Structure 1
Amino acid sequence: MGISEEKASLRTRYRRERSERYLEHSFEHLADSQEFHKAKVVASYISYADEPDTTALNLALIKSGKILLLPRIAGKDLEWVRWDGEQSQISKAKKIAEPKGPVVTDLGDVEVIVVPALRIDRSGYRLGQGGGYYDRALPQFSAFSIGLIHPDEISSEDLPREQWDIPLHAAATPDLVIRFQR
């Protein structure tokens, strides 16, 4: 079995496990962590289904005066749009909610990027949903990267890796932040 097939098999297993034990949690506490507190510009995402819920975190960041960028799908890539918390500026395409508005092309000011993940291993490597959007997006950022996961979604075993996989700086559960050595 190749790495791509191994990842696909793990995604199926991890999605099933997540759906069987999903509990709603808040990640709002991250807004007070040192990296978020210092940042002026944060890139996050709009969660869906049983992903860790980003709603309270995104609104807390805006309330604290941060500039918040959210992604939308543009072909095989993500483009980033500034969002001010106004729900009328969100559209829904199938199960994914995306921001409306002009694209932010200069991502150099982003100091923190929040990334979805199904699992994260002890070295900071993540297994995402399989579309490759964040694999292509992360090299555009020099920001502190943090993946959101539910409790028990830190893998004690190394996840399969491909040459384009980039380790995150940290993982966050509803209760703690785990920073990785890089």
Structure 2
Amino acid sequence: MASSQGSDAGKTALRAEYVRIRTRMGASVRAATDARILLGLEELSAWKNARLILTYVSFGSEVDTHALMQAAWAAGKQVAVPRCRRFHSLDFYVISSEDDLEPGLRGLMEPSPDCGRPLTPPQMVGSLCIVPGLVFDADGYRIGYGGGYYDRFLAFYPGEKVALVRSRQLSGNPLPRDEHDVPVDWLVSESGTWCCNPMVR
């Protein structure tokens, strides 16, 4: 249950603030910014070395991942996207094109039932996970949408984690965090790339 005090209240206020920041950006500015972010991602060694990309399917004013999926397929990589399950958990399924997607929870695009079995952690070794969020700090911690889906998944994920983030979604101050929160290893923005985890350099 959400609290009106402490870090929960802080996260709620930050979510509202950064949703406003994101939606105030014009569509053409978002498109140009996201194109530069994708170029930065493609220069990242973790991207170049990954045989499998796990990514969310962007919705609304989120950083675009549709071009990212096309870039991955063009580079000979596999792409997997999540399906939301009960108890706020995620399963990832390999898709061969966006035709394999259909509306799921809250209208978000998810893999269709024809996509076979979900990936297991051993099958994800050597992959790269693109992690969504509303705002990130320099340590790789984030404020997401409040469901806890990705933190539950990332607790057992064996690969590197990267956030695609517009500069306006970067916090100069540490964000509120709980002990179950899992930081990303890399931040890629239109202005540059930042390693949050020296162990992956």
TM range (shorter): over 0.9
**How does 1:90-169 map onto structure 2 within 5 Å?**
90-93=101-104, 94-100=106-112, 101-110=115-124, 111-169=127-185
**Percent identity between the aligned chains?**
26
Is the contact between residue 108 and residue 141 of structure 1 (CA under 8 Å) also seen in structure 2?
A: no
> How far apart in 2 are the matches of 1:106 and 1:18?
34
> How far apart in 2 are the matches of 1:102 and 1:135?
24
User: Partner residue of 1:61?
Assistant: 72
Helix, strand or coil for the counterpart of 2:23? helix
- Show CA shifts across 1:14-70 (max 9, x none): 111111125222243223421111111221110001000001111111121111111
**How does 1:18-29 map onto structure 2 within 5 Å?**
18-22=22-26, 23-24=30-31, 25-26=34-35, 27-29=37-39
> How far apart in 2 are the matches of 1:5 and 1:108?
37
> How far apart in 1 are the matches of 2:64 and 2:192?
15
User: Partner residue of 1:78?
Assistant: 90
Give the CA deviation at 1:166: 1.2
Match of 1:9 among 9, 13, 16: 13
Helix, strand or coil for the counterpart of 1:141? coil
Give the CA deviation at 1:175: 4.0
Look up the equivalent residue of 2:94 and give its one-letter code.
R
Q: Which runs of 5+ in 1 are unaligned?
A: none
Helix, strand or coil for the counterpart of 1:164? coil
Higher strand share: 1
Quick check: 152-161 or 106-115, which moved more? 106-115
Asked if 1:88 corresponds to 2:104, the answer is no
User: Partner residue of 2:61?
Assistant: 50
Give the CA deviation at 1:103: 2.9
Is the contact between residue 41 and residue 67 of structure 1 (CA under 8 Å) also seen in structure 2?
A: yes
TM-score, length of structure 2 as denominator length: 0.84
Q: Which runs of 5+ in 2 are unaligned?
A: none
**Number of equivalent positions:** 181
Is the contact between residue 139 and residue 196 of structure 2 (CA under 8 Å) also seen in structure 1?
A: yes
Helix, strand or coil for the counterpart of 2:84? strand
TM-score, length of structure 1 as denominator length: 0.92
Helix, strand or coil for the counterpart of 1:140? coil
Helix, strand or coil for the counterpart of 1:165? coil
> How far apart in 2 are the matches of 1:159 and 1:15?
16
> How far apart in 2 are the matches of 1:46 and 1:179?
24
Quick check: 24-33 or 75-84, which moved more? 24-33
Helix, strand or coil for the counterpart of 1:158? coil
> How far apart in 2 are the matches of 1:45 and 1:32?
20
Q: Over aligned residues, Cα RMSD in angstroms?
A: 1.5
